[in-house]
Chains A and B, each alone.
Chain A
Amino acid sequence: MSIELNKIRNIGISAHIDSGKTTLTERILFYTQKIHAIHDVKGKDGVGATMDSMELEKERGITIASAATFCEWDEHEINIIDTPGHVDFTIEVERSLRVLDGAILVLCSVGGVQSQSITVDQQMKRYKVPCIAFINKCDRSGANPERVTEQLIEKLGHNAIAMQMPIGLEAEHEGVVDLASMKAIYFDGDNGEDLRIEEIPAELKDRAEEKREELIEQASNFCDDLAEAFLEEQEISAEMILSAMRKGVLSRKVTPVYMGSAYKNKGVQPLLDAAVQLLPDPSDVSNSALDLDNEETPIELGSSSEDPTVALAFKLEDGQYGQLTYIRVYQGTITKGDTLINTRSGKKIKIGRLVRMHANQMEDIGSIQAGYIGALFGIDCASGDTFADPKLNYSMTSMFVPNPVISLAIIPKDNKAQINMSKALNRFSKEDPTFRAFVDDETNETIIEGMGELHLEVYVERMRREYNAEVTTGQPRVAYRETITKRAEFNYTHKKQTGGSGQYGRVTGYMEPLSEGEFEFINKITGGAIPTQFISSCEKGFKSSLEKGALMEFPVTGIRVEINDGAAHNVDSSEMAFQAAAKGAFREAYNKAKPVIHEPIMKVVVETPTEFQGSVMGTINQRRGTIVGTQDEGPICVIESQVPLAEMFGYSTILRSSTQGKAQFTMEFANYHRVPQSITEELQKKKAEEAKKGAA
């Protein structure tokens, strides 16, 4: 498997849920002859689109986990990552974006830029992924690709420019006009596989000329030769336009817009051409790793297959034959039989079977070269691990992993379910760093934690379906935290004399609120008041006090502790004694420091037909929400708000019933805010009741 780098494209398809990206992927695979029949997402034939590898996804008609698949087009090899569209699975989207060189942003020509498109777009910006846009569903009633292009400019700040013009819209959608070549393209055959190129219909000619001029004007910003030719009114070829646009795309200064209807088999092949012509190849993109031997200094990676190997495991899947690990090789080549190091664990790994994937089918290969995406069998690792040549101690940039905001107790039905549940939890926490599972020491219950209600629901569902683990779930719980609001001093002596050697330690200092970060420990002891060997015990003591705050037993964050004096005893002082002294000091100062409860606040964006604007705002208001703003867009209104997570349980049902099911919302973690006094009291009351019940 050796191919020039400029013939490789690693692309993702990013989109809002329901904008048709799975259908688009399906069509791409059909036209590139990777599959032999087309299935619809919610297939009448019961087969489902090929990329939806999980049963659950098939049923819901959505793609939850990304699967990498390989296809060929115009002598280029394309690796496609099908990315999930829901915000609750953000980590999956972000991980996919990390390994991509370019992306196709799919938008619905009716719905336009929706709130989720904004989230996905922000993620693409964060990872600097160049993209082209595809406005899908031009056959739907209300289709308006021009409006969506404007929204790309206004709402997402893209310098979007149309590369095509639709020939007919809604039921009359027949094809597209290619503005670079000034030809009309029609899609014939049962599945649109036969392209018919013709002259532009007379009635569209003038408009097409105008649009082409706009396109050339934009493109000439990226190529002096084109600008010159344009000014001198010379003939301008399609190649000149495309080559200029490519420069613009690679520098992320322009977003070319394509259009069509994947479902009606229109516009997909020109989009594939565009992916090959405009999106970057691996050598166009610079990637860096962190040198772990050198204080994590960023190191620019080469893209040569001859360099020492660096690869990233970006996705794990449980297959029939064990764990399948999707990797992207950034430099060097991974060959069967190689030995590499997992730089996170330091463990050696021996490369066994190498494959490349097409949804649920796979093909064995001998090696994976730089710039390529493939999969390994039988490697034990976690998602996000780096595999490197033993000579290098590099790690690919670590991704920001937010702390979970919600938890749920799960109880297995029987012993068999218990075993299967453990297997599933083990797998899920390896796959998704935002999903965590642990056993509560006090209640002995298994608790799962994640980024939202739906996030956890999907995993519970997957447990049932994929692992045959029947579980019941408890009420979702919000991850509250405690923090202090005032500075408070402590001066605590821990003294115990119970025969034998005693315990003695005294710590003096203060605690104060810390605006950024969770915990800071400052040692200002001078003159050995506390011997150096016990300082770390003091820190340990304070740290362990953070696990449960005295107010409501929630974890404590945002606290700085400084110790500046103390005392020790020659015989009776020990590590244990100082840990106990620090714990006592924490208890002593904590209440004086006026602790308060903080709760996670979610950014909730609702899109609703304007007539329901009032009632939607009412639902937000009733949930202690703050409306940041409303965006009036004619028939649709977007309401942006901040709502405490604790108030958001079951919101989808409420929203559906108050808008006749016509509104949709997205929710993501925004920040932690102080809980109002009345709610704190309610929480305390509830806790007291629970304690009473537990005691009874």
Chain B
Amino acid sequence: MLKKDLMMRNPLRAVSDENGYILPEGGLGAVVARAGVGKTALLVQLALNSLLKGDNALHISLGDPVRKVSLWYKEVFNNIGVQYQIEKIDDLWNELLPQRFIMTFNIDGFSVPRLDERLTELADQNIFHPQMILIDGLPFNEQTKRTDLQALKELSEKFKSHIWFTVRSHRHEEPDSDGMPIQIAEFADLLDVVVKLEPQESDIRLNVLKGSGAISSQNLSLDPATMLIKE
């Protein structure tokens, strides 16, 4: 009951399809923002949305230790509990925990083939099958190749999953002519959804740079105090 209740109140519902998905199977989505604006918080909420639906979420962090990622989840989840005045949130949390898997890599140690190897191992042993993969801290620089993104897309298709990743932008950089951040401009065609977080007055706006269906027309923002999405 509690789960259903939370899902009904979830602002992300408005941007999802009838099955509750924003991205199609095998799809890629990017969350773009400057440092400290709320990329990880948004990613965690996307994951929690998936967990509440009963899906498994794999959170990959490049740089932060497992403990810190766990803390993010606990923090966002507790904030949701406070916002919706939910008692017994701990019980629900314990119920969701087995559906989440955190994997952390050093940035240098991360590669798509390595991730593929890990995921195959988890699947072979029937330990974990992710329906959603989140990658936080993927570096986008001169060395990033189109083939890397293509490989990620193939991986997403192989595991019948969809992948969200964060892209860090910089204040001084101008977007390309389509309004796409330059870090991902040349791969934009591979991405299904691109959202950008921008501080605006007292809110953090969630601007949809690319996307179709429900998400294209939405107007969401993050509450800067709790980093929770609000309508």
* A interface residue numbers (CB < 8 A to B): 118, 154-155, 515, 613-614, 617-618, 621, 626-634, 638, 640, 642, 673
Chain A residues lying within 8 Å of B121, measured Cβ to Cβ, are: 613-614, 617
Chain A residues lying within 8 Å of B109, measured Cβ to Cβ, are: 632-634
- C-alpha gap A642/B70 in the complex (Å): 13
- Assuming the contacts A155-B65, A515-B90, asked whether A630 and B127 have C-beta atoms less than 8 A apart, the reply is no
Write the chain B residue with the least CB distance to A621.
B127
For the complex formed, measure the closest distance between the CB of B226 and the CB atoms of chain A, giving whole angstroms: 22
Annotate B91-105 by CB proximity to A: 1 below 8 A, 0 otherwise. Answer: 000100110011111
Asked if A631 and B94 make an inter-chain contact with CB atoms under 8 angstroms apart, the answer reads no
Chain A residues lying within 8 Å of B98, measured Cβ to Cβ, are: 626
Beyond contacts A621-B126, A627-B127, A628-B97: 18 other A-B pairs, Cβ-Cβ < 8 A, are A118-B67, A515-B88, A515-B90, A613-B121, A621-B125, A626-B98, A629-B59, A629-B69, A630-B66, A630-B101, A630-B118, A631-B104, A632-B104, A632-B105, A632-B109, A632-B110, A634-B109, A673-B94
B21 at the interface (CB under 8 A from A): no
* B interface residue numbers (CB < 8 A to A): 59, 63, 65-67, 69-70, 87-88, 90, 94, 97-98, 101-106, 109-110, 114, 118, 121-122, 124-128
Indicate which residue in B59, B66, B88, B110 contacts A631 across the interface (CB closer than 8 Å): B66
CB<8 Å pairs between A and B, sample of 21: A118-B67, A154-B63, A515-B87, A613-B118, A613-B121, A614-B124, A617-B125, A617-B127, A621-B125, A621-B126, A628-B97, A629-B59, A629-B66, A629-B104, A630-B101, A630-B103, A631-B66, A632-B110, A634-B106, A638-B66, A642-B97
- C-alpha gap A618/B128 in the complex (Å): 11
- C-alpha gap A669/B30 in the complex (Å): 39
Asked if B127 and A618 make an inter-chain contact with CB atoms under 8 angstroms apart, the answer reads yes
Chief secondary structure at chain A's binding surface: strand
- C-alpha gap A621/B67 in the complex (Å): 20
- C-alpha gap A125/B87 in the complex (Å): 31
A-B contact count (CB 8 A): 64
For the complex formed, measure the closest distance between the CB of B40 and the CB atoms of chain A, giving whole angstroms: 15
Write the chain B residue with the least CB distance to A638.
B66
- C-alpha gap A640/B100 in the complex (Å): 13
Write the chain B residue with the least CB distance to A614.
B121
Indicate which residue in B88, B103, B122, B125 contacts A632 across the interface (CB closer than 8 Å): B103
Indicate which residue in B63, B101, B106, B114 contacts A629 across the interface (CB closer than 8 Å): B101
Write the chain A residue with the least CB distance to B94.
A673
Write the chain A residue with the least CB distance to B58.
A629
Chain A residues lying within 8 Å of B110, measured Cβ to Cβ, are: 632
Write the chain B residue with the least CB distance to A642.
B97
Chain B residues lying within 8 Å of A631, measured Cβ to Cβ, are: 65-66, 104
For the complex formed, measure the closest distance between the CB of B85 and the CB atoms of chain A, giving whole angstroms: 15
Chain B residues lying within 8 Å of A118, measured Cβ to Cβ, are: 67
Asked if A628 and B65 make an inter-chain contact with CB atoms under 8 angstroms apart, the answer reads no
Write the chain B residue with the least CB distance to A151.
B65
- C-alpha gap A344/B173 in the complex (Å): 66
Asked if B102 and A628 make an inter-chain contact with CB atoms under 8 angstroms apart, the answer reads yes
Asked if B125 and A629 make an inter-chain contact with CB atoms under 8 angstroms apart, the answer reads no
- C-alpha gap A621/B129 in the complex (Å): 13
Chain B residues lying within 8 Å of A515, measured Cβ to Cβ, are: 87-88, 90
Chain B residues lying within 8 Å of A614, measured Cβ to Cβ, are: 121, 124-125
- C-alpha gap A610/B92 in the complex (Å): 33
Chain A residues lying within 8 Å of B69, measured Cβ to Cβ, are: 629
Asked if B104 and A627 make an inter-chain contact with CB atoms under 8 angstroms apart, the answer reads no
Chain A residues lying within 8 Å of B67, measured Cβ to Cβ, are: 118, 640
- C-alpha gap A642/B93 in the complex (Å): 14
Chain B residues lying within 8 Å of A642, measured Cβ to Cβ, are: 97
Chain A residues lying within 8 Å of B97, measured Cβ to Cβ, are: 626, 628, 642
Asked if A627 and B70 make an inter-chain contact with CB atoms under 8 angstroms apart, the answer reads no
Chain A residues lying within 8 Å of B128, measured Cβ to Cβ, are: 627
Chain B residues lying within 8 Å of A618, measured Cβ to Cβ, are: 125, 127
- C-alpha gap A638/B66 in the complex (Å): 9
Write the chain A residue with the least CB distance to B104.
A631
- C-alpha gap A626/B105 in the complex (Å): 20
* Among A621, A629, A634, A673: residue with most chain B CB under 10 A: A629
Write the chain A residue with the least CB distance to B70.
A628
Chain B residues lying within 8 Å of A640, measured Cβ to Cβ, are: 66-67
Chain A residues lying within 8 Å of B106, measured Cβ to Cβ, are: 632-634
Chain B residues lying within 8 Å of A633, measured Cβ to Cβ, are: 106, 109
- C-alpha gap A171/B65 in the complex (Å): 32
For the complex formed, measure the closest distance between the CB of B74 and the CB atoms of chain A, giving whole angstroms: 11
Chain B residues lying within 8 Å of A154, measured Cβ to Cβ, are: 63, 65
